[in-house]
């Protein structure tokens, strides 16, 4: 789905590794019955190959692509370095539900509590960059962990949450560096389109997923 | 391999020294199902290790320097590298140490094990909710939810037509989910597998595994631990020692 941050993880890896692929977008507010035969959870992203093998759960799809396809390895070979990327992924894990709660908050809530919680989570990530003394979360080159967390940082501006990185300068620099990446920049979603999608999505409109088409 | 039955370290204890060469250290707790995953993999792969038990109801201050989340299990090696999150520790051990590979090499088969792990993921919080329910709640709603989750796992075994979740041999996914199935009997939740016969057979097959059987926790000891743990007693983690 064109606006889904989880599916964007998979698209980033496909782009970064130059893997030939076709995309079928799913209307998440009006799912085809057959989609549940692709993923019993009924969620995107799902990978399907020519052998009919199906892989779902965004992080699993990304790791599968890195292992199954040649070219630049996005995950390190070293078991400890790979484990470090997964521990950073765990450190990041509260961000998606917090952003979802912020998006879904009622009109009378000002969201300042959620913003404070987000700042807290971002401080943990800032600490990683401070300790590692590198630009990216896996070292001086962009790697898997950066792609896995990027989609939520891309959405901070349109959600008016950019202030949450005011006290995390390394994270801000990382965001700027990410925008320079070809895969990231090729998949950037235009702010007006995202806003249009989001307004419809929050109203459960079956038109949301195709906003702008 | 030492320390499995050692008293736990609590607040005020001195931080342990460096890990001896040739061993890997695991910070654990004798009754923790998450730490049991790591112990199972260490046993299954014959990895030389030492165990330091942590008093989870009275944590040493230094423990947060090992894992900022303050949870077990944590691995520490002689280079001082720290790895936490149970599934990450298990995958690290499989990749870093020789011997039988518990995860498949094939990317799709490996992905399948991770998808089953995701299918299982609602079980630990459901079991925790059941354990923590108040006295006036009969838990039947939670039991029904558990049955539902177990049916999903039964479906995997039905589709695969194998004994274990990764094929006809025991592998990583089986060890990752086992600790909760071991606890069903003592928690009086065995009825939740009444309608999932393949899962029942899998449980019996698991008990035959040397790593599993060597780490089985005696029912009375677990019950003793649990009663104290639910009262937040700092004695819980050392019950029976």
CA distance, residue B11 to nearest chain A CA (Å): 24
In chain B, which residue's Cα lies nearest the Cα of A82? B92
Distance (Å, whole) CA B19 – CA B17 = 7
Average pLDDT of every residue of chain B: 96
Percent of all residues in chain B with a pLDDT value above 90, rounded to a whole number: 95
CB atoms within 10 A of CB B38: 30
Residue A213 has pLDDT above 80, yes or no: yes
Residues 6+ apart with CB under 8 A from B185: B219
> What would the pLDDT profile of B22-64 be if each residue is shown by its tens digit?
999 999 999 999 999 999 999 999 999 999 999 999 999 999 9
Question: How remote is the C-alpha of B146 from its chain's centroid?
Answer: 18
pLDDT at B193: 98
Please list the active-site residues of B. 32
Closest CA to B241 of B2, B68, B69, B4: B4
Buried b (16+ CB within 10 A) or exposed e, A142-176: bbbbbbbbbbbbbbbebbebeebbeebebbbebbe
Phi then psi for B31, rounded to 5 degrees?
A: -115, 5
Q: Rounded mean pLDDT of B200-204?
A: 98
pLDDT at B1: 44
DSSP A52-84: --EEESHHHHHHHHHHHS-SS-SS-SSHHHHHH
Residue A109 has pLDDT above 90, yes or no: no
Coil/strand/helix, residue B54: strand
Distance (Å, whole) CA B91 – CA B111 = 13
pLDDT at A108: 75
pLDDT at B2: 53
Percent of all residues in chain B with a pLDDT value above 70, rounded to a whole number: 99
Beta-strand pair B24-28/B49-53: parallel
Looking at the DSSP bridge assignments, the partners of residue B28 are B53
pLDDT at B195: 97
Run of H or E including A97: helix A95-103
Question: How remote is the C-alpha of B172 from its chain's centroid?
Answer: 12
Sorted by where each starts, the structural domains of chain B and their CATH numbers stand as: 24-101+218-238 (3.40.30.10), 107-208 (1.20.1050.10)
Distance (Å, whole) CA A151 – CA A132 = 22
CA angle, corner B232, sides to B228 and B238, nearest 5? 50
> What would the pLDDT profile of A1-14 be if each residue is shown by its tens digit?
999 999 999 999 99
Q: Rounded mean pLDDT of B217-237?
A: 96
> What would the pLDDT profile of B82-105 be if each residue is shown by its tens digit?
999 999 999 999 999 999 999 999
For an interface test with B, the pick among A58, A78, A83, A145 (most B C-beta atoms closer than 10 Å) comes out as A83
Contact A90 B85 (CB under 8 A): yes
| Tokens encoding A171 | 């994270």
pLDDT at B4: 81
SS3 content of chain A, % helix, strand, coil (to 5): 55, 5, 40
CA distance, residue B95 to nearest chain A CA (Å): 6
| Tokens encoding B127 | 């079991």
Among A105-109, B32-36, B217-221, where is mean pLDDT lowest?
A: A105-109
Residue A158 has pLDDT above 90, yes or no: yes
């Amino acid at each position: 789905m064109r606006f889904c941050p989880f599916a964007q993880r998979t698209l980033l890896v496909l782009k970064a590794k130059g893997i030939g692929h076709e995309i079928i977008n799913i209307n998440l507010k009006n799912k085809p019955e057959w989609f549940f035969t692709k993923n019993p959870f009924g969620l995107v992203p799902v990978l399907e190959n020519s052998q009919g093998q199906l892989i779902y759960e965004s992080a699993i799809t990304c790791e599968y692509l890195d292992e199954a396809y040649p070219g630049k390895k996005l995950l390190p070979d070293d078991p400890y370095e790979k484990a470090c990327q997964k521990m950073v992924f765990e450190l990041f894990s509260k961000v998606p539900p917090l952003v979802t709660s912020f998006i879904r908050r009622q009109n009378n809530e000002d969201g300042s509590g959620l913003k404070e919680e987000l700042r807290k989570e971002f401080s943990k990530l800032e600490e990683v960059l401070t300790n590692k003394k590198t630009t990216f979360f896996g070292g001086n080159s962009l790697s898997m962990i950066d792609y896995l967390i990027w989609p939520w940082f891309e959405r901070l501006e349109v959600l008016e949450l950019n202030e949450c990185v005011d006290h995390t300068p390394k994270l801000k620099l990382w965001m700027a560096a990410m925008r320079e990446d070809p895969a990231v920049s090729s998949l950037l979603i235009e702010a007006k389109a995202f806003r249009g999608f989001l307004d419809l999505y929050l109203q459960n409109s079956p038109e949301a997923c195709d906003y702008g088409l």
